[in-house]
Structure 1
């Protein structure tokens, strides 16, 4: 199988055992692309990073880099060991994650945070979080904020955290949650809405309890649906976020999209995340346990019986092209999902995009499309759209996005991609760390940046 590989390009990565930085190659075998690297101490690694069409080189989108307005760390050991952001990072933040707690009311089989039953003594104070907000303003913000964890709803401070951010000029807040508390505590959800919560980013792995029992350890599908209904009652947008694990839920892609559309316009879209192996996971991964972005795109087309076409999906304008895909649609009254995006492969790589434009556009588009837009109170729902104004009104109210993002782990980490990351974690010390660096763990589960194992960052 691997006898006739073609070298596409070179990059850098890390050893999955010792996390030492290593030279790496992107090598094509047939239609598939692998990342290859060798550690002098721990041996050779080959990991699939792209399978089939759309092709790896076809998907590339050149960008002009933009460096941090205010670097907070100096370059000493090099990427990924100097994150802060350092002066060598090549993208502005778009979405910034605050870990407001390490506690969680689940113990999922797959968890990048290795969250669980911990006490609240180490949770950041409002004063600490104010410092995080101010650090983001120094870095060129305000940016979009995602409240995360652990399970952020284990904290009672979320309304105050949102209120504090709004007082400092931040306008878009999303809640990254398993949905358990907001399924039963409507009063708390309402407090967050009143404070300024825009979107619930809801863990949603499938449409039956067998999947949740296997991935999350509990049968919680009913709670997921109640969380959606509660958000609908309060006018809060919801994005469904499935973690895709081969052999467990990759055949659920079409059913998840159908369920999302059935609950539009409250559900604003689906954001697929192929499983990555960092934090807590059952064993060292094989290639059979990975699904790549082009496979997800093809599965969307196949499992929706061609209603959603591959040509509707675009590479990102902000982060590295091989990190994600997205497509925007409008749900028409008769049930048609009409695409608003279309990929023109003949010209996709002809010009370079200023990368900061992509980040800023992504912030605005995310805030617009993932927030519920109320229809005019004087208008009855239209079954026939007879004018351009009617159509624009429909787009505003019934826009729907389908996207996917492939996070990186120690086996497939590409430092070129990492330097262009715009999903940023704020550390306890106020450093701005790209998501895949912050959550990076070796095969023993020890990390560079997460608090429980910072001793490795030496």
Structure 2
């Protein structure tokens, strides 16, 4: 779930802005209140906190990795683990357990940064260091506080050793990512944040423009670029050919094929009792 505190771009009077304005800390406080303290404010971390994992994997593999080094004021995130119970014959979420309840997140961050530095600066053996990290994983996780059915030590081992989307997928399948990013407005435009932006637009003339710069200073960037680069449908068709835009180009889904797929049935089965019309494949199976 990704929350986006509203950006009030445009000429809004100060009193109106103060009325509708909501910030990242405001959202975090409301989530804490509305979950009765289950997802508390100290469970959240700024996005650049993930750099420790990238730094360590980069040190081990010797290959450049994506570093989420954007400004800490731009976004916050956490992971929570839903706990399910059977209520009225249905599998329902009864509570959320933040990752900080059973993981020493700060300690793990500092440990990974230290090991990355040892490999990069002190030239320590990367494979031996990797084994040391794997061996130390249990010290950062309180197994007795883990959510039911979760073996986080095993999952993290796979992520670090395999470094694959499949390994990451297992973690995300069992957890719920909560994040938020607050884009800027004219009244709080911050050059330091822009200088560390990690979401960009590429303009037709080859410029790489930070997201907030492009949209907030729209007269200089977005609107100007769109006006200069746009063309009519007729011009586009004469240049690139027909059938690429408009009705002819629309994708048409095969609903029956979609509903009969295994992943569709598996995903929506818990909600079939709310469906007005069951998929044909489910009806046939029931018969």
User: Same fold, TM exceeding 0.5?
Assistant: no
Which of the five TM-score ranges fits, normalised by the shorter chain?
A: 0.3 to 0.5
**Largest Rg, 1 or 2:** 2
Compare the two structures and name the one with the higher helix fraction. Answer: 2
- TM-score w.r.t. the length of structure 1 is 0.28
If the length of structure 2 is used for normalisation, what is the TM-score? Answer: 0.43
